[in-house]
Amino acid sequence: MANITLTTLNKMKASGEKFSVLTAYDATFSHVVSKAGIEAILVGDSLGMVLQGHDSTLPVTMDTMIYHTECVSRGNQGALLIADMPFMSFASPEMTLINAGKLMAAGANVVKLEGGSWLKETVQQLSRNGVPCCIHLGLTPQSVNVFGGYKVQGRGDAAAQLLADAEQLAEAGAALFVLECVPTPLAKEITKRVNVPVIGIGAGPDTDGQVLVLHDMLGITPGKPARFVKNFLAEADSIPAAIEAFSHAVKSGTYPAEEHGFKE
């Protein structure tokens, strides 16, 4: 397929065409995922849990993210490559520019940051310096100690603040959003309000794209899966077939279903 760019995803949003995103952490899975037609690959700091065995993403370092971004970039066959900025790597705009530059040099097309409207100045500086950014809102795993666990965000009075954060950061120049574990109606409203693509995970069917951790959608993550996870390998005869099934389900609107989302 032709290389997927932010322009591609913006055109898909404008036309109402859904797109799919999966994590990958190495060259082999990057090759498989991108060849299967997945539009974007996320080199997630989820690797701290999935690959390294930690109980959160907090121990992941910049050096680790650079290494895995380089690996994924080598195997990528045209998908948009998004790389996570790990915990405390974007504490100031100046620090963010330095670390984002390292991820872009490693092969990222977009860097992803967790946080709200306090990131406005950082987003503006990244944009001015030619670094597209994706803002992760809702359940932001790097803030697990603030939230007191992995809980749905944006219910009740918090919904207005989440919507305001999205609108302010879109105005500041954010190129993409990820909404994690927010009520389906709120995710729908944010997707409608902002003029850039919105990717959901546990945010219902109305976002422009959907992302899952690769190991989750293959059903090989230990423990009880999250509510929004579906095992696509259960009804497929190979890993590439499972990835293609995920992509098709997202595009056709059969995934996520109502049971994968959260109410207000």
Annotated binding residues, written as ranges, equal 45-46, 84, 112, 114
Task: Give the other-Cβ count within 10 Å of 103's Cβ.
Answer: 27
Annotated binding residues for Mg(2+), written as ranges, equal 45, 84, 114
- Residue among 167, 103, 161 at smallest CA distance from 135: 167
Q: Which of 121, 180, 244, 264 is catalytic?
A: 180
Annotated binding residues for 3-methyl-2-oxobutanoate, written as ranges, equal 45-46, 84, 112
- In the block, residue with structure tokens 């995920």: 246
Does the annotation count 180 as an active-site position? yes
Q: Note every long-range contact of 185-192, with CB atoms under 8 Å and residues 24 or more positions apart, other chains counting.
A: 185/264, 186/154, 186/159, 186/162, 186/264, 189/163, 190/137, 190/162, 190/163, 190/166
For residue 82, the one-letter residue type is I
Token pair in block for residue 70: 């380089």
The residues carrying an active-site annotation are 180
